[in-house]
């Protein structure tokens, strides 16, 4: 008892101090210091290699070191950066013309830099994380035989051809209108000859310590080596020909947990924290004032209905469950507003997003839901399976409680230790009930929210949804004459999902980030990376 009372005494002055601090902070714009060095908090990257960096921590550092072929504007549409032009007459054979550019070691960026990098990534035995980004390229299947222990007969992508030093011709296995959007990600960065033991060899072999000090074509070059678990420092690359950044250098400081990052931000030892920890969200307004920002991210959380479970075979049952969930309440109560309620099947960050496509099916109408549920003969007990290692228990239980109260059914959350265990159960057609899934895009396109998740042979369609009309629309969208035509087809496809409700959209992710008084113009891009071209140091 004694101890608790003491804790209460300590907590009171603390909150008073927080309230006081809030008065002092303002986000006024000071004068920019073009040589200032700013610090950004990250976690330890898994890799720093175009073909192998597939998480935001590494991608953030790679964005400083490399310049992409395309980047994306506010509307999520691609525009050329390192590429001069990316054109095609049939959406199948694409011609990429490159701008002049230099690697940090002085090598020129030419067609070979891209072709080598892409061939290295796509070659199956190299086991690169981003290999699947090339599955639309002609010849990818030859580099990735279905029996993984067989050495592929081909060593390079047959769909890649060098026309001249500045021109690459890419042949896809099928037309893909939004090919340009694909090229914005880390997987498509070039590599210099210096990255390989022998740049003329096939297959290419990477130098073993290349990742410790990657040589890129970007606005910043690495200073020294990657200091594991400590920091990665980059400085402005004088010979960079693209858009000049507004800071002199960036110190990526490596943290294990977000709590420590946030503590250093409050102590003014760190300039940017990309993810404010959930437990600090309640006090963040007081701590940071308008230096706390939110922006949409690409993640999408939903509940899936396995098609092998006959209890959920009627769309009316699925719709009634959807209408019995109060998304807004869960977002506010469980997530402290750190995520947004989802009323569409594609994320707001991609071109073609429409607000509230789900319409009445996602509206919270408990009375109508109950009536419809009973009329359709919905099951009297429900369960929601989730993986216990991802912090999902709270919202799953909250959802279950809503279903209990609003539909008058039994509902329990069923934890599985790991996500892989959950998938295994689904694959074995075990009794999982509804189950949770999450998705983040690989490239910013509606197609990436529709194709992998709902087409009959989609790579992440774990629930077995299949609708030929939907498949056709997605396929037509991919081959439409222009990206705008593609979007129209995709939107029609999304409307089919609203009719069928194979999954329940629940929430869209948000970036919840904060920054110190020493920086301004801090924005996060589509891939949840700090936009290094915009950020400025305040002197």
Partner 1 sequence: MFRYLVRRFLQMILVFVATTFIVFALMYATGGDPIQALAGERPVSEQQRAQLTKLYGLDQPFLVRYWNYLTGLLRLDFGKALNGRDVSEIIASALPVTAKLALIAIITTIVVGVVAGIIAGVRRGSIFDNSTLVLTLIVIGIPIVTLAPLAQYIFGIKLGWFPATAAGREDDIYALLLPGIILGALSVATAMRLTRASFNENLRSDYVRTARSKGLPGRRVIGVHVLRNSLIPIITFLGIELGALMAGAIVTESVFNVNGIGFNLARALRTEDAPLVVGLVSVLVIIFLVANLIVDLLYAVLDPRIRYE
Chain residues in the site for partner 1 (CB under 8 A): 2-3, 6-7, 10, 14, 17, 44, 46-47, 54-55, 124-129, 131-132, 144, 146-149, 227-231, 253-257, 259-261, 263-264, 266-267, 269, 417-420, 438, 459-460
Min separation Cβ 140 and partner 1, Å = 11
Block residue for tokens 């939907």:
470
Of the candidates 329, 345, 384, the residue with the CA atom closest to the CA atom of residue 505: 345
Nearer to partner 1, 136 or 488 (CB): 136
Min separation Cβ 531 and partner 1, Å = 23
Contacts of 419 (CB under 8 A, 6+ apart): 387, 389, 390
Min separation Cβ 62 and partner 1, Å = 16
Judging by beta carbons within 10 Å of its beta carbon (0-12, 13-18, 19+), is residue 226 exposed, middle or buried? buried
Rg (CA), the chain: 25
Min separation Cβ 253 and partner 1, Å = 5
Which tokens in the block code for residue 444? 């910013």
Dist. CA 238–CA 206, nearest whole Å:
27
Block residue for tokens 């927080």:
18
Dist. CA 519–CA 501, nearest whole Å:
45
Min separation Cβ 52 and partner 1, Å = 9
Min separation Cβ 148 and partner 1, Å = 3
Nearer to partner 1, 256 or 333 (CB): 256
Dist. CA 403–CA 385, nearest whole Å:
15
Nearer to partner 1, 253 or 365 (CB): 253
Could you give the count of Cα atoms lying within 13 Å of 39 in the half-sphere of its Cβ? 16
Q: What is the 3-state secondary structure (H, E, C) of 421-432?
A: HHHHHHHCCCCC
Min separation Cβ 416 and partner 1, Å = 12
Nearer to partner 1, 69 or 232 (CB): 232
Nearer to partner 1, 7 or 430 (CB): 7
Min separation Cβ 458 and partner 1, Å = 11
Of the candidates 139, 286, 122, the residue with the CA atom closest to the CA atom of residue 204: 122
Nearer to partner 1, 23 or 238 (CB): 23
Min separation Cβ 47 and partner 1, Å = 7
Nearer to partner 1, 72 or 134 (CB): 134
Nearer to partner 1, 42 or 98 (CB): 42
Nearer to partner 1, 98 or 265 (CB): 265
Whether residue 203 is preceded by a cis peptide bond, meaning omega within 30 degrees of 0, is: yes
62-77 burial string, b = 16+ CB within 10 Å, else e?
bbbbbbbbbbbeeebb
Of the candidates 466, 465, 486, the residue with the CA atom closest to the CA atom of residue 475: 486
């Amino acid at each position: 008892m004694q101890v608790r009372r003491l804790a209460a005494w300590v907590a009171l002055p603390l909150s008073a101090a927080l309230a006081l601090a809030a008065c002092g902070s303002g986000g006024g714009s000071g004068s920019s210091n073009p040589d200032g060095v700013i610090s950004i908090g990250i976690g330890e990257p898994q890799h720093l290699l175009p073909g192998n960096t597939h998480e935001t921590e590494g991608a953030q550092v790679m964005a400083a070191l490399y310049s992409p072929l395309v980047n994306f504007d506010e509307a999520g549409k691609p525009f050329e950066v390192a590429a001069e032009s990316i054109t095609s007459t049939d959406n199948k054979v694409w011609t990429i013309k490159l701008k002049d550019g230099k690697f940090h070691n002085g090598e020129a960026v030419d067609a070979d830099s891209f072709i080598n990098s892409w061939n290295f990534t796509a070659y199956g035995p190299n086991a690169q994380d981003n290999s699947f980004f090339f599955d639309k390229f002609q010849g990818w299947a030859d580099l990735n035989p279905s029996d993984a222990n067989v050495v592929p007969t081909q060593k390079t992508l047959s769909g890649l051809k060098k026309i001249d030093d500045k021109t690459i011709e890419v042949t896809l296995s099928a037309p893909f209108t939004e090919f340009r959007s694909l090229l914005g990600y880390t997987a498509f960065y070039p590599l210099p000859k210096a990255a390989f033991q022998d740049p003329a060899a096939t297959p290419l072999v990477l130098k073993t310590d290349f990742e410790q000090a990657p040589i890129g074509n970007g606005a910043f070059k690495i200073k020294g080596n990657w200091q594991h678990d400590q920091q990665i420092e980059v400085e402005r690359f004088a010979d960079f020909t693209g858009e000049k950044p507004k800071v002199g250098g960036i110190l990526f400081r490596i943290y294990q947990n977000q709590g420590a990052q946030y503590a250093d931000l409050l102590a003014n030892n760190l300039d940017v924290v990309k993810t404010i920890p959930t437990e600090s969200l309640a006090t963040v307004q007081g701590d940071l004032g308008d230096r706390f920002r939110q922006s949409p991210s690409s993640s999408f959380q939903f509940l899936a209905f396995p098609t092998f479970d006959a209890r959920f075979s009627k769309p009316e049952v699925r719709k009634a469950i959807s209408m019995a969930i109060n998304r807004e309440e869960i977002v506010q109560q469980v997530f402290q507003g750190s995520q947004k309620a989802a009323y569409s099947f594609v994320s707001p960050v991609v071109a073609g997003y429409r607000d509230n496509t789900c319409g009445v099916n996602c509206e919270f109408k408990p009375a109508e839901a109950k009536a419809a549920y009973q009329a359709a003969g919905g099951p009297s007990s429900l369960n929601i399976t989730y993986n216990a290692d991802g912090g999902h228990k709270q919202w799953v239980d909250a959802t279950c409680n809503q279903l209990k109260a609003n539909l008058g059914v039994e509902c329990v959350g069923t934890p599985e230790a790991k996500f892989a265990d959950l998938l295994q159960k689904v694959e074995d057609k075990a009794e999982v009930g509804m189950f949770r899934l999450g998705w983040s895009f690989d490239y910013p396109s509606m197609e990436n929210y529709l194709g992998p998740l709902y087409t009959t042979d989609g790579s992440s369609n774990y629930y077995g949804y299949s609708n030929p009309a939907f498949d056709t629309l997605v396929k037509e969208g991919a081959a439409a004459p222009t990206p705008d035509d593609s979007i129209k087809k995709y939107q029609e496809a999304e409307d089919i999902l609203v009719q069928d409700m194979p999954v329940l959209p629940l929430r869209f992710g948000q970036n919840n980030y904060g920054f110190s008084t020493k920086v301004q113009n801090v924005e996060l891009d589509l891939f949840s990376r700090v936009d290094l071209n915009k950020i400025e140091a305040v002197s």
